[in-house]
Structure 1
Amino acid sequence: MNNIVSATEGPVPVFDGHNDVLLQLWLNHRQNPQHAFLEGPACGQMDLARCREAGFAGGLFAAYVPSPKLPDLTEEASIVPGSGIDTRFLLEGTNKHPDFSPTPDFNSARDVTIGMMAFLLRIEKASAGAVKICRSAKEIRESIQNQSLAVVMHIEGAEAIDPDLYLLDVFYAMGLRSIGPVWSRPNIFGHGVPFKFPSSPDLGPGLTELGIKLVKACNQKRIMVDLSHLDEKGFWQVAKHSDAPLVASHSNAHALSAQSRNLTDKQLEAIKESGGFVGVNFGMSFLREDGQKSPDASVLDMVRHVDYLVEKLGEDKVGFGSDFDGVTLTPDMVDVRGLRKFEAALRKAGYNTSLLEKICHKNWISVLERTWGE
């Protein structure tokens, strides 16, 4: 692949694996999300002006439905047919499970997810070419070359998809090209890994039969399956049933931070063998050896995970999965504009321009091309 931007043309552009800007727009700018994002300032860590200043050239924009609040009731739980999911985990359920946030019901999740995807459609239309929803690797490259923000539609937690997968077809037609079957809570497709430290990621029963069906359907449509919030059993089920590269869009190395959300060396080896990819999460609690959100944290914690993942996976299978607008960043990051400080820290650690171009955007585009077949 030819360089998109040479070393003399400015900062290396970044294509990033995960952000939650749609959630921030949903919560704070629902009446006019396109104005908030395009004209700014938007709440949170991202909007178009800051992305341009940072060299943020594009990424996966997640539709994530926040967990509802549950009343404290004492009715007995029942099982959702075909899923193995206890209704105590669901909105209609009874008590909060100690390890999980409650799961939104299907109707609410569908409406919110469609709304967030409509935000992207409206942003693209109002942007006069400054934002492009991309459905192929070629379109991502062209958008970056044309200095348009390259947006890929992603769903984080498939609560909005019905058991017959009819809505998967609808979302695909809208532009969906990436999906995480679960967030860190159960749904009809499987069990997410709860947030625990220190902990192994082996904390649940993995995918349900419907979850395996969803993975196979995504393979057929060449939709990327994101592993970042699956428990370890679910990870190995995807490895068994999927014919696509294994991708964790925003996860880190468990050997450096023993968070349940991070990846073990055995999982990293499987990702490498599949021709897959890992995007480094910028959240402090996923970076630190002590698992804490510490005022002493810095971009050097992020460099440490990049170093380790490059050692384990090779220089072609590592990139960024920032989780902007979804995590607490290190104090020296602040918002998306901290990418320039991160790039400077990587250069100081010995990463030359050629390798930075791979980690900042080329590796992501390459694994998406291998997954999508276009």
Structure 2
Amino acid sequence: MTERELIPVFDGHNDVLLKLMTLGGAEPERMFLDGTPKGHIDLPRARQGGFAGGFFAIFPPPVGRSMDISGPPPGAGRNAGLPAELSQADATQSTLAMASILFRLERASEGALTICRSAADIRLAMERNSIAAVFHIEGAEAIDPDLQMLDVLHAAGLRSIGPVWSRRNIFGEGVPFRFPSSPDTGDGLTDAGKALVKACNRRRILVDLSHLNEKGFRDVAAITDVPLVATHSNVHAICASARNLTDWQLGAIRESRGMVGLNFATGFLREDGRMVSNTGLVIMLRHIDALLEALGEDGVGLGSDFDGALVSASIRDVTGLPRLIDAMLEHGYGRELVEKIAWRNWVGMLERTIG
């Protein structure tokens, strides 16, 4: 596929801000804008791969722990428990640091990256060939029970939030990185978590279900008045990871006119649950087939988890996105459907959620 023919990709999840905070030194924005051999995404490679934008996640990492962005997450394992809880003070420090990097990226990029607060902003950024970045939080440990920080972050541009990562916090409990396992692994949302979901609905902040356990998922479904969205999750019937979505969860998402972004992490794709790079594109297409069957053509997108997971060597990094696009076309998906999966469905979903 030539550059002229590239189908743009708007992606449901990346962890590039964590990479920049961890590895970027005094000027992390330069690492992104000038390019780096490290990780999965930077501006030169994004241009090469047709990466038009996506959800730029802020994930508060464990304190004092080096995060290996190319390997399994902390605590990963076939019978893993939940990682340790994180204090609000520690989470606030890293959350604000990554938010600052995102703002600095926008300023330093001179129009090459735009923080988008609405679907209209995304469309305009794409028209201008500017990477459209949605400010997203993965794990709400920085937010206080009175939700004052939520107001501050929303005013700064926050438009999407996963209440939990795969650990407990004051809002609920995430799923462990466990295989094989059902997502029914613990308690649901706390009262504070239910209040957070309602507050997000009022502020038109998307609530991401990707790391919630089954009871928490049910709680959100019972409370929310907007579509159910899992930004980076796969099909449990194919890969029995606790992180993946069961048939009833997919049914609830479809009933709400919601959406799922395909996670590229090999451990959430493979039938054996192994996190190994020697994983072909065929298994990704199998998950997309199953998601299309469960959700319909308007309910499926991509949620790569770039810079936060081990991905297939067939893709390698953001420059490999055209290979996945080509594989979908060769698999028999028409160009209109491929464009929906690649970017149109996400933009349409954001029109129905954040406005």
**With structure 1 as the length reference, what TM-score do the two structures score?**
0.89
Deviation at 1:296, TM superposition (A): 4.0
Matching of residue 165 in structure 1 with residue 160 in structure 2 = no
The CA distance in 2 between the partners of 1:220 and 1:115, in whole Å, is 26
Deviation at 1:69, TM superposition (A): 5.9
Does the Cα contact within 8 Å between 2:235 and 2:290 map onto a contact in 1? yes
- Residue 10 of structure 2 aligns to a residue in which SS? strand
- Residue 151 of structure 1 aligns to a residue in which SS? strand
Q: How does 1:188-267 map to 2 (within 5 A)?
A: 188-267=170-249
Deviation at 1:334, TM superposition (A): 1.0
- Residues 310-352 of structure 1 show CA distances to partners (whole Å, capped at 9, x for unaligned) of 0111011100000001110112111111111111111110011
Does the Cα contact within 8 Å between 1:25 and 1:42 map onto a contact in 2? no
- Residue 138 of structure 1 aligns to a residue in which SS? helix
Match of 1:328 among 310, 334, 346: 310
- Residue 355 of structure 1 aligns to a residue in which SS? helix
State the AA in 2 paired with 1:20: D
Q: How does 1:1-374 map to 2 (within 5 A)?
A: 9-41=4-36, 43-68=38-63, 99-294=81-276, 296-372=278-354, 374=355
- Residue 271 of structure 1 aligns to a residue in which SS? helix
The CA distance in 2 between the partners of 1:62 and 1:293, in whole Å, is 21
**294-303 or 145-154, larger mean C-alpha shift:** 294-303
- Residue 177 of structure 1 aligns to a residue in which SS? strand
State the AA in 2 paired with 1:58: G
Does the Cα contact within 8 Å between 1:124 and 1:133 map onto a contact in 2? yes
Does the Cα contact within 8 Å between 1:62 and 1:155 map onto a contact in 2? yes
**Partner residue, 1:87:** none
- Residues 150-208 of structure 1 show CA distances to partners (whole Å, capped at 9, x for unaligned) of 00000000000011000000000111000000000000000001111111000010111
**299-308 or 276-285, larger mean C-alpha shift:** 299-308
Structure with larger Rg: 1
- Residue 258 of structure 1 aligns to a residue in which SS? coil
State the AA in 2 paired with 1:322: S
Does the Cα contact within 8 Å between 1:262 and 1:286 map onto a contact in 2? yes
Structure 2, gaps ≥5 residues long = 66-78
Does the Cα contact within 8 Å between 2:266 and 2:277 map onto a contact in 1? no
The CA distance in 2 between the partners of 1:195 and 1:295, in whole Å, is 18
The CA distance in 1 between the partners of 2:199 and 2:222, in whole Å, is 14
Does the Cα contact within 8 Å between 1:25 and 1:43 map onto a contact in 2? no
Does the Cα contact within 8 Å between 2:200 and 2:206 map onto a contact in 1? yes
Deviation at 1:293, TM superposition (A): 2.3
The CA distance in 2 between the partners of 1:218 and 1:168, in whole Å, is 9
The CA distance in 2 between the partners of 1:139 and 1:32, in whole Å, is 27
Q: Residue 286 and residue 98 in structure 1: after superposition, are their counterparts in 2 closer, same or farther (change >3 A)?
A: closer
Percent of aligned pairs with the same amino acid: 54
- Residues 57-104 of structure 1 show CA distances to partners (whole Å, capped at 9, x for unaligned) of 00000000112369xxxxxxxxxxxxxxxxxxxxxxxxxx96111122
State the AA in 2 paired with 1:177: R
Deviation at 1:30, TM superposition (A): 3.6
State the AA in 2 paired with 1:16: D
The CA distance in 2 between the partners of 1:195 and 1:237, in whole Å, is 21
State the AA in 2 paired with 1:110: T
**With structure 2 as the length reference, what TM-score do the two structures score?**
0.94
Aligned length: 341
The CA distance in 2 between the partners of 1:326 and 1:367, in whole Å, is 23
The CA distance in 1 between the partners of 2:113 and 2:318, in whole Å, is 17
Could you list the runs of 4 or more consecutive aligned residues of structure 1 that deviate by over 3 angstroms after TM superposition?
Answer: none
The CA distance in 2 between the partners of 1:59 and 1:347, in whole Å, is 22
Structure 1, gaps ≥5 residues long = 1-6, 71-96
The CA distance in 1 between the partners of 2:278 and 2:3, in whole Å, is 33
Q: CA RMSD in A?
A: 1.5
Does the Cα contact within 8 Å between 1:68 and 1:103 map onto a contact in 2? no
- Residues 196-226 of structure 1 show CA distances to partners (whole Å, capped at 9, x for unaligned) of 1111000010111100000000000000000
